[in-house]
């Protein structure tokens, strides 16, 4: 099977050193590392040729799908989930740990461990894509790693091993960076290993080492004899000293970039929290100002209503002046009552101190029939 992989942001080896390292990987011999048939680096990436595993990857086994289907149809909405038994988890987990220990002893790391990079052949684990760490490809679980404080190659591999173990046990990937609560159906040993790799408290203290997990009772108790039969050929991986030194420098540079990204994410989170606090305080002050404004408006409206009410009460309580009657007095000589002008009536009706109420009453009681009729000439 031919595959192509472009260089990632963590590629720091020169083309010459990379080609030398690829030759060493092509000659690697380990019972739990898949053999690379051909590998060559080009300007923008590298092509790799390896044999086809008809059973697919470990993830294909967990979801009961065929390796030849595309990624979306296999894992987009899996209808079948087949978690492994506790015996299978111990069996395959121990073999994965053996392969990881071999790589770390040789100055390498896997960096991309997940069920899709694990093949099962006759009850034997084979790790795939061990060349990705040299190509600078970011880890599949890097979005999770950005929320953690794990940056060393060993800590990253142990965290990825915990996520792989979780998916083997539940046939579903862990969606969160941490996991502190597990179902009641799993064994105590499995829960202890998962807590060791994935719990918030363990990760806060740097996570477990490879030896901590490898010598856990879950992987040392009752190992089937068939595992030792795989080690008939001694493991072998020879790297020139100068290339090993360059690989170590590249791994340190990748760790430094991961730490910087983690610090950047933490600073962004801190700024977001501060902004949320400031926004909440500003909003609280705005609400207080709006409440104060509503209170002042209500107070002014209430005082205006009281003023109008008191003015209406004083208006209705003022005495009404007596109306003029026809018999109350005599008109001047020679002037009939009908000839009295409206101005005279108004002036007689309204006295200087009566006020507005007297004027309104005079207007209302005015009789236009008393006006003199004037004949037009």
In this prediction, residue 253 has a pLDDT band, given cuts at 50, 70 and 90, of: very high
257 pLDDT more than 50: yes
In this prediction, residue 266 has a pLDDT band, given cuts at 50, 70 and 90, of: very high
269 pLDDT more than 80: yes
Task: Give the chain's radius of gyration (CA, Å).
Answer: 47
In this prediction, residue 341 has a pLDDT band, given cuts at 50, 70 and 90, of: very low
231 pLDDT more than 60: no
50 pLDDT more than 80: yes
Per-residue pLDDT at 315: 55
pLDDT tens sequence across 1-24? 899 999 999 999 999 999 999 999
Per-residue pLDDT at 366: 73
Per-residue pLDDT at 9: 95
Of residues 155 and 354, more confidently modeled: 155
pLDDT tens sequence across 95-134? 999 999 999 999 999 999 999 999 999 999 999 999 999 9
254 pLDDT more than 80: yes
Helices (H), the chain: 15-26, 58-62, 71-75, 86-105, 132-135, 142-145, 153-170, 188-198, 200-204, 210-214, 217-220, 226-229, 241-317, 342-349, 356-364
Rounded-to-integer distance, Cα 96 and Cα 100, Å: 6
Per-residue pLDDT at 233: 74
The dihedral through the CA atoms of 148, 142, 235, 90 has a sign that is positive
Q: What is the mean pLDDT of the chain?
A: 83
| Buried/exposed 334-370: b ≥16 CB within 10 Å, e otherwise | eeeeeebeeeebeeebbeeebeebbeebbeeeeeeee
75: number of Cβ within 10 Å: 16
312 pLDDT more than 70: no
Please state, for a pLDDT cut of 90, what percent of the chain lies above it.
59
- As a whole number, mean pLDDT of residues 265-272 equals 92
| Buried/exposed 182-217: b ≥16 CB within 10 Å, e otherwise | beeeeeebbbebbbbbbbeebbeeebbebeebbebe
40, β-bridge pairs: 47
Rounded-to-integer distance, Cα 131 and Cα 7, Å: 11
- As a whole number, mean pLDDT of residues 45-72 equals 89
223 pLDDT more than 70: no
Residue ranges per structural domain of the chain: 55-230+239-268, 337-370
Per-residue pLDDT at 227: 45
Classify domain 55-230+239-268 by CATH number. 1.10.510.10
Q: Are 208 and 152 in contact (CB under 8 A)?
A: no
Q: Are 216 and 193 in contact (CB under 8 A)?
A: yes
Q: Are 101 and 158 in contact (CB under 8 A)?
A: no
Q: At what angle do helices 86-105 and 188-198 cross, to 10 degrees?
A: 40
**Distances in Å between the alpha carbon of 208 and those of 104, 140, 283?**
15, 20, 45
- As a whole number, mean pLDDT of residues 267-296 equals 84
In this prediction, residue 183 has a pLDDT band, given cuts at 50, 70 and 90, of: confident
List phi, psi (to 5°) of 125: -80, 140
What are 223-226's contacts with CB under 8 Å, separation 24+? 223/90, 223/91, 223/94, 224/91, 226/123
């Amino acid at each position: 099977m031919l595959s192509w992989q472009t260089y990632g942001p963590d590629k720091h080896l020169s083309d010459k050193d990379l080609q030398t390292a690829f030759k060493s990987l092509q000659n690697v011999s380990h019972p739990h590392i898949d053999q690379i048939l051909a590998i060559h680096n080009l300007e923008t990436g590298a092509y790799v040729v390896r044999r086809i595993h008809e059973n697919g990857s470990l993830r294909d086994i967990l979801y009961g799908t065929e390796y030849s289907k595309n990624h979306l149809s296999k894992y987009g909405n899996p209808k079948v989930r087949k978690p492994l038994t506790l015996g299978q988890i111990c069996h395959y987990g121990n073999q994965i740990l053996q392969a990881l220990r071999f790589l770390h002893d040789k100055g390498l790391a896997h960096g991309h461990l997940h069920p899709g990079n694990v093949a099962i052949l006759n009850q034997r684990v084979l790790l795939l894509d061990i060349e990705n760490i040299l190509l600078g490809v970011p880890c599949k679980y890097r979005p999770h790693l950005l929320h953690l404080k794990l940056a060393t190659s060993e800590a990253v591999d142990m965290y990825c091993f915990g996520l792989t173990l979780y998916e083997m046990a539940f046939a579903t990937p862990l969606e969160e960076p941490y996991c502190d609560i597990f179902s009641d159906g799993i064994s105590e040993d499995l829960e202890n290993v998962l807590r060791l790799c994935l719990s918030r408290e363990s990760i806060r203290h740097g996570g477990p080492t490879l030896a901590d997990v490898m010598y856990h009772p879950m992987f040392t108790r009752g190992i089937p004899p068939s595992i030792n039969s795989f080690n008939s050929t001694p493991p072998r991986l020879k790297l020139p000293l100068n290339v090993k030194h360059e690989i170590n420098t590249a791994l340190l540079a990748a760790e430094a970039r991961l730490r910087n990204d983690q610090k950047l994410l933490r600073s962004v989170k801190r700024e977001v929290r501060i902004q949320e606090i400031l926004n909440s305080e500003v909003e609280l002050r705005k609400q207080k100002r709006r409440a104060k404004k509503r209170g002042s408006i209500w107070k002014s409206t209430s005082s205006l209503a009281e003023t109008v009410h008191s003015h209406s009460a004083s208006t209705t309580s003022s005495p009404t002046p007596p109306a003029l009657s026809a018999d109350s007095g005599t008109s001047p000589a020679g002037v009939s009552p009908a000839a009295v002008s409206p101005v005279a009536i108004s002036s007689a009706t309204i006295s200087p101190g009566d006020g507005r109420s007297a004027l309104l009453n005079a207007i209302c009681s005015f009789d236009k029939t008393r006006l003199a009729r004037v004949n037009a000439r």
